[in-house]
Amino acid sequence: MSYYFNKTVNTDFETTISSVTAKLKEKGFGVLTEIDVQATLKKKIDVDFYKYRILGACNPQFAHKALMEEDKVGVMLPCNVIVQQKSDDSPVEVSAVDPIASMQGISNPNLGNIAKEVQSLLKEVIDELKNE
């Protein structure tokens, strides 16, 4: 089982970030955190890295359900979505964590149904991205 699902698009990097954020919002997710890995690695260890952004997405309804089932599940939240572009002339790749894979380490079967619902929504976000 893969721990993520992804799609490659031919839109520019910043447009892709905006599209992903909008699609997440349509599915009830907000972006709680945004980590610019390229800028962070440059600042912290003076390494040049390609465009790589981590979006920490959270659907509050599902987060609440999961926390009611398992109070330590917060260590697995939020659902990360990454947007990366390895060179200026390469396509942009969007990947989302597979919450079912994430929840396999927790022995609480009630989280399985929640993870399936979240997985379905995140897959829709990825699938609905267009090559504009």
Its sign, for the CA torsion 61, 66, 67, 69, is positive
pLDDT at residue 38 tops 80: yes
pLDDT at 130 over 90: no
More confident residue, 32 or 1: 32
Residues contacting residue 54 through CB under 8 Å, at least 6 positions apart = 33, 34, 35, 37, 80, 81, 82
**pLDDT at res. 127:** 95
pLDDT at 34: 97
The fold adopted by the segment(s) 4-127 is TATA-Binding Protein (3.30.310)
- Short-list 99, 89, 79, 81, CA closest to 20: 81
Per domain, the residue ranges of the chain are: 4-127
| Residue 132, pLDDT above cutoff 90 | no
* Cα–Cα distance measured from residue 15 to residue 18, given in angstroms and rounded to the nearest whole number: 5
Tell me the whole-structure pTM to 2 decimals: 0.94
- Residue 57 CA to residue 116 CA, distance in Å, equals 16
For residue 86, what are the contacts with CB-CB under 8 A and spacing of at least 6?
Answer: 50
86-117 pLDDT, tens digit each = 999 999 999 999 999 988 888 898 899 999 99
* Tens digits of residue pLDDT in 44-84: 999 999 999 999 999 999 999 999 999 999 999 999 999 99
Q: Which tokens sit at 80?
A: 């990360």
pLDDT for 105: 84
Question: For residue 122, which of 6, 1, 44, 2 has the smallest C-alpha distance?
Answer: 6
Task: Report whether pLDDT(31) > 70.
Answer: yes
- Once rounded to an integer, what is the mean pLDDT over residues 123-130? 94
- Which of the four pLDDT bands, split at 50, 70 and 90, describes residue 1? low
The pLDDT score that the predictor gives to residue 107 is 87
Q: Which residue type occupies 101?
A: A
